Amino acid sequence: MSRISLLLALMLSSLFYSQEVSKERVTIVLSKLASDEMKGREIGTPENDSASIYIAKRFEEDQLDFCTGNSYLVPFQYKGKTVYNVCGIKKGKSNKTLAFTAHFDHIGTSENTEDKVFNGADDNASGVTTVIGLADFFKTEKPDFSMMFIAFNGEEKGMKGSKAISNLESLESKYQNITALFNFEMVATVSKFGRNALYMTGDEFSDLDELFNGRAVNGLQIFPDPYLGQNLFYRSDNVSFVKKKIIAHSFSTVDMNTATHYHQLNDDLKVVNFDNLTQIINNLGKTFEKLKPENFKPTYNNKVDFN
């Protein structure tokens, strides 16, 4: 093979392989979402709209297809205002789909302190950064599964966005192809299980974690939810899809017993371990590369409540 032919072959092959996400990229995305200018991303505010547009632009960079209509922005109504979820599709070799989700809204600002912005770096700029990071990871690859990427709005007001988009008739045919939904909720810190580890809410309801761990790379591991008394499985956006009998769990690193930043003004960039988050994103991507529709078919048991 000539040198020119070899270079051409290498260039073409690079179009079909994933690309690792840099710590710099993770830092830029998370820092933007958690910046003071976003004013806590409360649903119904101009800053919340700005956050949705920012996420849509990242989906455009990653060359995702629209989930529905002619925009990544999927509108719904909240208190008489039009607000947005953000949704993109990566077509794979199969119509069978893995969904990656996180909510991008937070709780806004305070009038009572010198630091007025609830930045929500962990809750949940970290989760949205993970979703964007996975879209980055698969930008140049055609994976075995198709992939759906959704940034939910209004979680802090009662999961308004996930309820709205989960019931959207125009997406129903796509939902029927979802094999599993991974909802990322507060993944900025190192978990009680150590680095490169997440826990899964509702692990007692399905075999998703066992199937995932059996193919996980580089020591990445999903542990059972250690905070069962807090009923986390039913308290996040995954439950909107559980009600549709879709395998849907939330994945987190936050210590719910000791975290002092949850819904506090100190949930800012200082709580974020960017090295750990970057490692998790890339190892998630490398693990999802190994999953195929024929070898990854998680199922619920009879313990889950679909109501």
Q: Which bin fits 297, alpha (ψ -120 to 50), beta or left (φ > 0)?
A: beta
Count of CA atoms in the C-beta half-sphere (13 A) of 210: 9
Asked whether residue 12 is assigned to any structural domain, the reply reads no
Q: Is residue 82 scored above 50 in pLDDT?
A: yes
Predicted local confidence at residue 14, as pLDDT: 43
Predicted local confidence at residue 123, as pLDDT: 98
Beta bridge partners of 223: 199
> What is the pLDDT confidence band of residue 3, given thresholds at 50, 70 and 90?
low
Predicted confidence (pLDDT) per residue in 104-163, tens digit: 999 999 998 889 999 999 999 999 999 999 999 999 999 999 999 999 999 999 999 999
Comparing CA positions, the residue from 185, 166, 181, 173 lying closest to residue 246 is 181
Asked whether residue 304 is assigned to any structural domain, the reply reads no
* Whole-structure pTM value: 0.94
Asked whether residue 295 is assigned to any structural domain, the reply reads no
Asked whether residue 296 is assigned to any structural domain, the reply reads no
Asked whether residue 10 is assigned to any structural domain, the reply reads no
Contact criterion met (CB below 8 Å) for 42 and 48: yes
Cα separation, 58 vs 100, whole angstroms: 15
Q: Is residue 8 scored above 70 in pLDDT?
A: no
Predicted local confidence at residue 112, as pLDDT: 81
Predicted local confidence at residue 4, as pLDDT: 52
Predicted local confidence at residue 12, as pLDDT: 46
Predicted confidence (pLDDT) per residue in 200-251, tens digit: 999 999 999 999 999 999 999 999 999 998 999 999 999 999 999 999 999 9
Domain range holding 138? Answer: 18-290
Report the CATH number that the domain containing residue 73 is assigned in CATH: 3.40.630.10
Q: Is residue 2 scored above 60 in pLDDT?
A: no
Q: Is residue 16 scored above 90 in pLDDT?
A: no
Predicted local confidence at residue 114, as pLDDT: 84
Q: Is residue 15 scored above 90 in pLDDT?
A: no
Cα separation, 75 vs 270, whole angstroms: 33
Asked whether residue 200 is assigned to any structural domain, the reply reads yes
Predicted local confidence at residue 113, as pLDDT: 80
Domain count, the chain: 1
Asked whether residue 56 is assigned to any structural domain, the reply reads yes
As a whole-number percent, the residues of the chain with pLDDT over 70 amount to 94
pLDDT mean over 13-19: 58
Predicted local confidence at residue 6, as pLDDT: 45
Mean pLDDT of the chain: 95
Asked whether residue 187 is assigned to any structural domain, the reply reads yes
